[in-house]
Amino acid sequence: MVIGLTGTNGSGKTTLANHLQAKGFYPLSLSDEIREELQRLHLPVDRPHMIEKGNELRRNYGQNVLAVRTLRKIQPDRNYTVDSIRHPTEIEALRGLQGFHLLHVDAPLRVRYERALQRQDARTPKTYEEFVELEARELSGSTPEGQNLNACAAMADVVLQNDGTVEQFLAKAEKQIIDWMRHHPRPGWDEYFMRIARMTALRSNCVKRKVAAIIVRDRRIISTGYNGTPRGVTNCNEGGCQRCNSLAASGTRLDECVCSHGEENAIVQAAYHGISIKDAVLYSTFAPCLQCTKMIINAGIREVVFNAHYPLNDTALQIMQQAGVTLRQIELD
């Protein structure tokens, strides 16, 4: 889950981010990208320079540049907070993440100014009038690349008012986040196994194409296989298959290829270790070829789920249907 935090200066975003960090959320901030730029240029890291440099980065590299850079740091198996979201295109970029939710935090202007004074850091305006002036610039979005907190607030899933005690504010935030966490979707079984198959494909030593298959029974993986040269033969990526290493055109010189297919290896590995695959389900990153289809049928596999079309010829499809093997395709990003 990724909790995006947007809101006005002094509203309590950092307080919430710190609180969630203590609860196991990894903290990220779009402003860190701006701070790094200012430090690299030996410029003051104060609020006016932060606003100016942020606008410059959006103008030169795209309005969502800060979010795009931050997205590279996010791993799918962790919970995060992403602070300092200040432009609608940043939200649009982050919405591509599964499990992203946006909180907008606000509080009365005078209360926020008093909180800013208590921070006593380089970002704190010297006077209330300066605080109000800077706030107006952040809220309005007077230029396409400028901060536009009003637009961000309109895109938020929930708006939290932090006009009471810290404890009350954090309790409200926790209640909302726990509700999101309880309804956070998990991958279905097909997606789960297919993503494992795609990761398995990265072990392939074939230089032409990386393909993998996993065999599942009772929702348990009992065998895996990826394409490459047979055991004891020089790996394809080390020159073991002349056909692949000469970059032969797709579909040609197949009689010269010494690489075994992913489905073939998964079936053979099960046999090698004495594991029955009768009535199992095979997940493959590509649709099986005719040769692998015959092995699948004779091994007693009852269903094949594939991700991408490999040119699946009519004969392979026909004999699979005739043998009663179910064939399904699921598409993943």
Distances (CA, A) of 76 to 197, 233, 319: 17, 36, 40
**Band of residue 141 on the pLDDT scale cut at 50, 70, 90:** low
Q: Contact at 8 Å (CB) between 256 and 242?
A: yes
Query: What amino acid positions are annotated as catalytic residues?
Result: 263
Tens-digit pLDDT profile for residues 35-66: 989 999 999 988 788 888 988 898 899 889 99
Q: How far apart are CA 36 and CA 49, in angstroms?
A: 12
Report the chain's mean pLDDT, rounded to a whole number: 90
Residue 130 has pLDDT above 70, yes or no: yes
Burial tier of 203 (Cβ tally within 10 Å: 0-12, 13-18, 19+): middle
At 118 the pLDDT is 80
pLDDT (mean) for 155-165: 94
Q: Contact at 8 Å (CB) between 317 and 297?
A: no
Assigned token pair, 157: 């899933």
Q: Contact at 8 Å (CB) between 82 and 4?
A: yes
**Band of residue 257 on the pLDDT scale cut at 50, 70, 90:** very high
**Band of residue 115 on the pLDDT scale cut at 50, 70, 90:** confident
Report which of 283, 294, 280 is spatially closest to residue 329, judged by C-alpha positions. Answer: 283
Place of tokens 């990386």: 210
What is the amino acid identity at position 309? H
Q: Contact at 8 Å (CB) between 163 and 11?
A: no
Tens-digit pLDDT profile for residues 80-111: 999 989 889 999 999 989 889 999 999 988 88
| Residues contacting 98, CB < 8 A, separation 6+ | 76, 185
Q: How far apart are CA 145 and CA 159, in angstroms?
A: 24
Q: Which of 26-30, 131-135, 141-145 has the lowest mean pLDDT?
A: 141-145
Q: How far apart are CA 245 and CA 228, in angstroms?
A: 12
pLDDT (mean) for 170-196: 94
Place of tokens 């079309």: 309
At 10 the pLDDT is 84
Q: Which of 30-34, 230-234, 258-262 has the lowest mean pLDDT?
A: 30-34
At 280 the pLDDT is 98
Assigned token pair, 143: 């230029």
pLDDT (mean) for 149-157: 91
Strand-pairing partners, residue 82, are 4, 28
Other C-beta atoms lying within 10 Å of the C-beta of residue 327? 17
Assigned token pair, 296: 């699948």
